[in-house]
Structure 1
């Protein structure tokens, strides 16, 4: 299973990160979430620290490029197989850092990948 971390998770139901958590859980994909505010979305507890998060296959980003910078080292340290850059999160500087650390980069929408069976 592609244990997934939603990075930039929101408690607001109209946010794409929130919708992604719902869809991941519905598909039976083990899901963890990181955001600025603690809370629960569809049974997934949003963590406010990346400490204690391990064995992540995929990180799906919902942070704009400027906010990503603060998490570069922590994301790389998690050693995911891949990082998905959803629309609005595109960041060529980070692509290069990830690829240099053996982490695959995909510029794609998590919701589309899930709905088309390509996740």
Structure 2
């Protein structure tokens, strides 16, 4: 699967520092919202309680997980996503690891390395 194909799915969750302006997760979350996607932000480190702190709390069903977090934390999130039946993951630059790719490959998860911002900009150029 190519990263551009993920844009056919409407329900997304962006994992990372989605609350802080200037962070890529924040930019991705807001760009997806502006493009009409149903998207929620998840930050496992959110102590303010202003956003989701885990995938298990997200409703409705997530079709695509956008991984924008340190791979050491990301592997646990990918494992949680697998338990929830999320089978499409866009792995942003810097969030990738061989462990994550191997887990996805061994568990039937379509893992694509790419950037949501790049794919959205290509879409708007058409």
For the aligned pair, the TM-score class normalised by the smaller chain equals 0.7 to 0.9
Q: Which sits farther off after the overlay, 63-72 or 105-114?
A: 63-72
1:18-33 matches, cutoff 5 A: 18-33=26-41
Structure with more strand by fraction? 1
Coordinate RMSD, CA, aligned: 1.8
Q: Which runs of 4+ in 1 moved over 4 A?
A: none
Higher relative contact order (CA 8 A, sep 6+): 2
1:109 equivalenced with 2:124 (yes/no): no
Relative to the length of structure 1, the TM-score reads 0.83
Which residue does 1:73 correspond to in 2?
Answer: 79
Unaligned runs of 5+ in 1: 40-45
Unaligned runs of 5+ in 2: 1-8
Relative to the length of structure 2, the TM-score reads 0.79
The alignment of Structure 1 onto Structure 2 pairs a total of residues equal to 112
